[in-house]
Chain A
Amino acid sequence: MTAPLLSVRDLHVSFASEAGRVDAVRGVSFDLEPGRTLSIVGESGSGKSVTSLAIMGLLDDNAKVSGSIMFDGTELVGKGDKELSTLRGNGIAMIFQDPLTSLTPVYTIGDQLVEALTVHRSMSQADATARAIELLRMVGIPTPERRLKSFPHEFSGGMRQRVVIAIAMANNPKLIIADEPTTALDVTIQAQILDLIATAQRETGAAVIMITHDMGVVAKTADDVLVMYAGKPVEQAPVRELFHETRMPYSIGLLGAIPRVDKAEKTPLVPIKGNPPLLVNLPDECPFVARCPIATEACRTREPELRPIATAEGGAHLVACVRADEIEDGMIGGAPVYPVPELPTSALDRVPREDRPVTLDVRNMQKTFPLTKGAFLKRKVGEVHAVKGLTFDIREGETMAIVGESGCGKTTTLLQIMDLVTQTDGEITIAGTPVSTLHGGKAERAVRRDLQIVFQDPMGALDPRLTVADVIAEPLRAIGVPRAEADARVDELMDLVGLDPAHASRFPGAFSGGQRQRIGIARALATNPKIVVLDEPVSALDVSIQAGVINLLDELKVKLGLSYLFVAHDLSVVRHIADRVGVMYLGEFVEHGDVDAIFDNPQHPYTQALLSAIPVPDPDIERTRERIVLQGDLPSPTDRRDGCSFTSRCPLYKMLPPEQQSRCETEAPALKGSDAHANACHFR
């Protein structure tokens, strides 16, 4: 057993704030050995980022840190900025979450890399530049000599994150801390970056602390896991143990709330009710007690300590729950820890798809944007083909999802529909009314009653200066519903989405994110629409809150007979909630059909790569499955290609003989197959 590289004992961090003293971290202890990966998991407010910043010494000046952090034999707590800066970037390196803002915009990549090197060692400019080129090559950036002189904004998000990793690796650190390094990236890029971090770890023999909220990433990368809640670790175990012998109700809830991309039978998601507590003046009881389905009086007497527990796997497993011994395999006393909500079923499910009325029909939607260059005189230098001919329809009671990565055009598609744009060579028909026949505000307003939208960002979607009642009533007022009737409807809607109508006169700022999203849903339902369009409605929410909103959407669909058009990049959510799916790449569908057919048997190479890139929250499955990792980035949507737009990254294309390759390059594939499953590849 090698000596631990990093030893944290009883770490406490607190800040002063308007509301009082915030105890962000309350007693974290762990050991980390060289070459191992510790994953710290938690939701917002759990204290995971603060812990990592405390180790680096990058917290605000008014943060009070106590406890012990021993790194490689030296105590870090209490050291000044100057001493710690000799360690940062040298012994300990950090990779941050948002690659778009992590690099200084006014210096070149080369300058920033060289700075990372020269601040710790005295190197000549030439030596430093050579090493910088070597680092860029290691992280997979093509033509590194030229790229040295580029500025950060000339790179995509994935590339920038690679540069950040290069900077982190520059001085062969012993410990790499990665704070949600892939949360802001697309799924296929995430797979590349996680691989890269693993490579970096292998090359340098470094230990890694991976901070994340995504259990799939944990299953993929971690050796040991630390689950944090309300600033405290509530469960600590080796990775297999955590997934298979979960003992803390919060962890069980977390795992139960995650939709699975690999499971076909639809089990309802298990939400955890309530919200995490404010970290001010916490009472001496289990912080999870308000939300825990199996809480007892004993849970309120004292805050439970983190104690060892013996399990079948036999690993070093610590848990902070009074009733942990009674829990086994997600069950306690014979019943599941979390009551499983009922899955709503609808009469419409029995009616075959072809017989149901069409609510939204899109034929050959196209959209291009002009690309301008120049600060003074804008001239058109090209076109961005955002949507290149999309055709699909949605039936009553059906959920259609459009998935794709950023830049594929899915949001543009949504906006085209919402803006009721007349297509030049196609048509959008909403509940039987073609868009091209609409003239004038009145006709438009009539159609808009049937078409409503729920946005991604719960904060931005609600006007902070209107009360909730006004927000929900706005669509009613727009169609001329009298005040009294509108008020009654507002109460009805709030009930429907699970909010207390008594709070209708409050402002959105007083509600939590999940609740705000419910308000947004209530607003969308106000006019009894037939179709609700949802733009990534749960991606800005924590996992445990997501589950509640997803269940609500399911329930409403059944109760009110709605159709949903869902846009998402999270395939697990899509699998759970959608009936049909269209996979979009650079403006067109590459695969389209029933959800189960596509997810169980993906045909197009892009869909295959997409599905294989999603980490599954089960370490056994995750580490043994076959993976397809796409090379490179999404090509620029300005190039107009004759052939298939996926050729630059297609793993199948690379393996084809030349005659078939030329077919891919010159002939654009069309969607072929049945209504249940169609794909756009010549050779599938």
Chain B
Amino acid sequence: MTSATIQPPVGPDTTAARIPRKRIGTFRLYYRRFVRNRPAVAGVFVFAFLVLFAVVGPLIAQFSFSELDFLALGTPPDGTHWFGTAADGGDLFAQTAVGLQRSLMIALTVSIGTTVISAIVGTAAAYFGGTTERIILLIIHFLMVVPTFLILALVSSNAGGDWRVISAAMIFISWFFPARVIWTMALSLREREYVHAARYMGVPGMKIVLRHLLPNIGSLLVINFTLGVVGAVITETGLSFIGFGVKIPDVSLGSLIGIGANSLSSAPWTFYFPALALTLLTVSMALIADGLRDALDPTSAAGGRA
């Protein structure tokens, strides 16, 4: 918080009996701190708008995303095709909306999966220590050496662009890096006295992990989750761009941009709209992640002013 502005008095026993007055619940405190960060709030609005677009867009579009209009090949935006058409006649509005939807679905699935797995594995490794820890770390280090992007490319390509396979593969290759970060953080938590206290009370190990360790890295998990979404979007986009991810007839923002790149100077709108959607998505999510980090993590000295 603002320990930078108040000279922190030495020792824990400082301030007054704040006892009876208004009690601020922890969540309300987080909410207040988040809301003070204007870019983060802007990010929330933009993200909400994008989600709305992804959900409502395909419903209100005049054309289905896979429908090809042979009468309007590569036309700029006009009354019928609001975003214009691609070189093969596909309606860009519908395609962008569905592409956004697809990218979002993949990104959210991947991030949730990654966060859950990395959290449990990371904290368990830190808490149980000994052989369990060594084995888990060995697995993590091994996976770090394995060419994960390559595997991702191979698997997705082979699966013919099925978004579920892509998501599963992405979860598989991305859980171990955050697991390692969580492991280091859980290590420092493990040495906290309240964890020792719980152990000395006879509380069983897994219960300590669930009751004490996980909630205390909760803020880290939330931040990881939002950053994970950004990362997943960017990875999936890159993959689809070079043709290994989502494939025709399915669309994702990456594949759209990939196709649009070929006709860049002649039909720039095929690039603009998906690129805009993509950029808004990543930047808004990143702003939200930043705002969350400042709101939830009291130790970030580089955070915004509380």
Q: Is there direct touching of A and B in the complex, by C-beta distance under 8 Å?
A: yes
Could you tell me which A residues sit within 8 Å of B by CB distance? 15-18, 22, 24, 43-45, 49-50, 53, 59-60, 62-63, 97, 180, 274-278, 418, 441, 444-445, 448, 451-453, 455-466, 474-475, 477-479, 503, 506-507, 510, 512-514, 516, 523, 540-542, 545
Give the nearest-CB partner of B195 in chain A: A463
Known A17-B6, A452-B200, A465-B216; contact A276-B23, beta-carbon cutoff 8 A? no
Given A53-B7, A455-B193, A464-B216: A17 in contact with B203 (beta carbons within 8 A): no
Q: Cβ of A516 and Cβ of B306 under 8 Å apart?
A: no
With both beta carbons as reference points, the residue of chain A lying nearest to B6 in the complex is identified as: A17
Q: Give the distance in Å from the alpha carbon of A516 to the alpha carbon of B17 in the complex.
A: 13
B246 CB to closest chain A CB (Å) equals: 40
Give A418 Cβ to nearest chain B Cβ, in Å. Answer: 5
B146 interface contact, C-beta 8 A = no
CB-CB < 8 A to B198: which residues of A?
Answer: 463, 474, 478
Contacting residues, chain A, for B300 (C-beta < 8 A): none
17 new A-B contacts at CB < 8 Å, known A453-B197, A459-B12, A513-B11: A17-B6, A18-B1, A18-B306, A45-B9, A60-B4, A97-B10, A275-B15, A418-B196, A452-B201, A453-B200, A461-B194, A461-B197, A465-B215, A477-B203, A478-B202, A512-B14, A523-B197
* Residues in B whose Cβ lies below 8 Å from that of A24: 7
List residues 34-65 of chain B with CB under 8 A from any CB of chain A: none
A455 touches B197 (CB 8 A): yes
Q: How far is the CA of A622 from the CA of B193 in the complex (A)?
A: 38
Closest to B306 in A: A18
Q: With the chains together, A60 CA to B8 CA distance in Å?
A: 12
| B interface residues (Cβ-Cβ under 8 A, vs A) | 1-2, 4-7, 9-19, 23, 26, 192-194, 196-198, 200-204, 211-212, 215-216, 218, 306
Smallest CB separation, A309 vs chain B (Å):
29
Contacts A49-B10, A463-B216, A474-B201: A277 and B16 contacting too (C-beta < 8 A)?
Answer: yes
A44: which of B11, B216, B218 is its contact (CB, 8 Å)? B11
Residue of A nearest to B189 (CB): A463
Residues on B with C-beta less than 8 A from A459 are: 12
Give complex CA distance A17, B193 in Å.
30
- Taking a contact as CB atoms under 8 Å apart, the answer to whether B201 and A475 are in contact is yes
How far is the CB of B81 from the nearest CB of chain A, in Å? 53
B-side contacts of A441, CB under 8 Å: 202, 204
Residue of B nearest to A509 (CB): B26
Question: In the complex the two chains form, is B194's CB within 8 Å of A478's CB?
Answer: no
Given contacts A18-B306, A448-B200, contact A516 B194 (CB under 8 A): no
> Can you identify 6 A-B contacts, CB atoms within 8 angstroms?
A17-B2, A17-B6, A59-B7, A275-B16, A444-B202, A460-B194
B10 and A44 within 8 A (CB): yes
B5 near A458: Cβ-Cβ < 8 Å: no
B267 to chain A, nearest CB (A): 54
Cα–Cα distance between A163 and B132 once the two chains are bound (Å): 45
Find chain A residues with CB under 8 A from B7 CB. 15, 24, 49-50, 53, 59-60, 63
Question: For residue A478, which residues in chain B have a CB less than 8 angstroms away from its CB?
Answer: 198, 201-203
By a CB distance below 8 angstroms, the chain B residues around A275 are 13-17
Question: Which chain B residues lie closer than 8 Å to A452 at the CB level?
Answer: 200-201
Q: Which residue of A lies closest to B207 (CB)?
A: A478
Question: Across the two chains, which residue of chain A brings its CB closest to B3?
Answer: A17
User: Are B13 and A541 in contact (CB-based, < 8 A)?
Assistant: yes
Could you tell me the distance in whole angstroms from the C-beta of A475 to the nearest C-beta in chain B?
4
Most buried by A among B4, B5, B216: B5
Chain A positions within 8 Å of B211 at CB level? 466
* Residue contact A540 to B11, C-beta cutoff 8 Å: yes
**Cβ distance B25 to chain A, nearest Cβ, rounded Å:** 9
Contacts of A63 in B (CB 8 A): 7
A276-B16 contact given A18-B306, A460-B194, CB 8 Å threshold: yes
Selected from A22, A50, A456, A503, the residue in CB contact (under 8 A) with B19 is: A503
> Which residues of B sit under 8 angstroms from A16, Cβ to Cβ?
5
Q: Are A542's CB and B11's CB within 8 A?
A: yes
- Given A44-B10, A49-B7, residue A512 in contact with residue B202 (CB < 8 A): no
Q: How far is the CA of A274 from the CA of B23 in the complex (A)?
A: 20
Given A15-B6, A453-B197, A478-B202, A516 contacting B12 (CB threshold 8 A): yes
Contacts of B12 in A (CB 8 A): 44, 458-459, 512-513, 516, 540-541
- Residues of chain B contacted by A462 (CB below 8 angstroms): 194
**Cα distance A99–B27 when bound, in Å?**
38
Q: Which residue of A lies closest to B1 (CB)?
A: A18
Most-contacted residue by chain B among A444, A445, A465 (CB, 10 A): A465
A558 to B13, CA, bound (A): 27
Q: Do A44 and B26 have beta carbons less than 8 Å apart? A: no
Listed from nearest, the 3 A-B pairs whose CB atoms lie closest are A513-B12, A513-B13, A44-B11
> B194: which of A49, A445, A463 is its contact (CB, 8 Å)?
A463
Contact B17 A274 (CB under 8 A): yes
A151 to B197, CA, bound (A): 36
Most chain A CB within 10 A, of B6, B7, B18, is at B7
Q: How far is the CB of A330 from chain B (nearest CB, A)?
A: 25
Which B residues lie within 8 Å of A451 (CB)? 200
